[in-house]
Amino acid sequence: MSEERKQWIPAADSSVELLSSYGDVESWDVDIADAGVRLDAYLADYYDQYSRSFLQKLVKDGKVLVDNRPVKNNYRLTGGEVLRVQIPQPEQLDVSPEPIPLEILYEDEDLIFVNKPKGMVVHPAPGHSGGTLVNGLLYHCGSSLSGINGVLRPGIVHRIDMDTTGVLVVCKNDLAHNHVARQLADHSITRKYYAIVHGVITEDSGTINQPIGRSRTNRMKMAIDIMNGKRAVTHYRVLERYKDYTYVECQLETGRTHQIRVHMTSINHPLLGDEVYGSRKTPFHLQGQTLHAGVLGLIHPRTGEYLEVCAELPEYFLRLQNSLRNQK
């Protein structure tokens, strides 16, 4: 891209009227060398401090104009267009810090790895305005969290379900956030989960390669969707067999919503305790699915070295294993 493209547009510019007045507007001419490049890819290269999903939302919301008109993210540049982009002013954070105890597995100036307990929601949402991981992080870190994902999700670059335990990485600045987000998008992060599933899996290992999308019959659930689902791959390995259950390691190649829960159900081995995707009753008193994020490994955004953090199995999981070993 040309280095002479950037200029600030005064408020009197007529094209700015197409954009709501909630941030500065930046304008430049697209270099002819960038002809054929998708708009979202071009913006991601230009604004490397922001995630692609953030920029795509700007395009979708009409905050990016090409020759004074809104376009879609898949618009391909021809070169010579005038591009105008409005970046919103940072919103005031309206989530309160709370002195919630956090188990910090690793922390430096860029990243925090937290061992999330069962029952904790990652970020505020309807019905969960407090007591979330974000509330605890704000108390622990103050303002030292990335702001790319907005006021309700500072530092949050990925999530795990409320009743899933284990390691989760949080970003303390936008540089780290963008770096980790790219690794997530490239599926280059190591993510190993540990689960107990119904039934005895006979093979020692296997791979489930089935696309996942929103269920057509229940929009609150995910499902295997051959036609419209997104690519989803889970590699599993049997660690221990019990009388009626199996302890497995699941390594994610992709990271779709509820991926392990949907995939294991698809091979008739739903997770123990999963009342959403598993229909079988159990004699155990459990709070949701028996699933633990045990290993998370990534390239550190500042050092460029591989960093792997592990979270030990929680007490309830260990007690359950002992009970299963004693079954006859």
Pairing between strand 165-171 and 111-116? Answer: antiparallel
DSSP state of 210: -
How far, in Å, CA of 278 to CA of 183, rounded? 31
Question: How many other C-beta atoms are found inside a 10 Å radius of the C-beta of residue 262?
Answer: 26
Q: Residues 161, 163, 244, 274: which is the catalytic one? A: 161
Q: What is the DSSP string of 211-253?
A: -EEE-SS-TTSEEE-TTTPBP-EEEEEEEEE-SSEEEEEEEES
Using left for φ > 0, alpha for ψ between -120 and 50, and beta otherwise, residue 275 falls in alpha
Nearest-Å Rg of the Cα atoms of the chain is 23
How far, in Å, CA of 82 to CA of 133, rounded? 42
Q: Return the closest-CA partner of residue 245 out of 172, 148, 323.
A: 323
Asked if 110 is an active-site residue, the reply is no
Q: Which residues are catalytic?
A: 161
